[in-house]
């Protein structure tokens, strides 16, 4: 793949993704941050928090 083709398709894909998932991303972020507030030590969050983070990265 040339860089131009790669870039165009990646941006097109991101544009679609952001447009269709922005609400979902924001919900996930709100839930994750609410979870962080319930942690005993927010600097060392639970596995549940990290799983929520991985879900976001996987999208």
Partner 1 sequence: MLYTELKVPEQAYGKSLQTYLMDPEKRRIYEEETEKTREKHNTYKPIEMNKAEVMDCAKRLEDFKFAAQQKMYMIVRQQKMPSEMINSIIIFEKENADDQFNFDTGKEEEDVEYNVKRLKMEDDEDYKKMTGDMEAKSKAFLEDRQKESQAVM
Residues of this chain that interact with partner 1 (CB under 8 A) are 1, 3, 6-7, 9-11, 13-15, 18-19, 22, 29, 32-33, 36-37, 42-43, 53-54, 56-57
Query: 3-state SS string over 1-57?
Result: CCHHHHHHHHHHHHHHHHHHHHHHHHHHHHHHHHHHHCCCCCCCCCHHHHHHHHHHH
Supply the minimum distance, in Å, between the C-beta of residue 51 and partner 1: 12
Supply the minimum distance, in Å, between the C-beta of residue 47 and partner 1: 14
Supply the minimum distance, in Å, between the C-beta of residue 40 and partner 1: 13
């Amino acid at each position: 793949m040339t860089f131009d083709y790669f870039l165009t398709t990646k941006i097109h894909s991101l544009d679609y993704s952001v447009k269709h998932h922005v609400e979902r991303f924001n919900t996930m972020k709100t839930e994750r941050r609410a979870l962080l507030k319930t942690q005993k030590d927010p600097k060392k969050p639970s596995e549940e928090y990290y799983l929520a983070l991985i879900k976001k990265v996987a999208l």
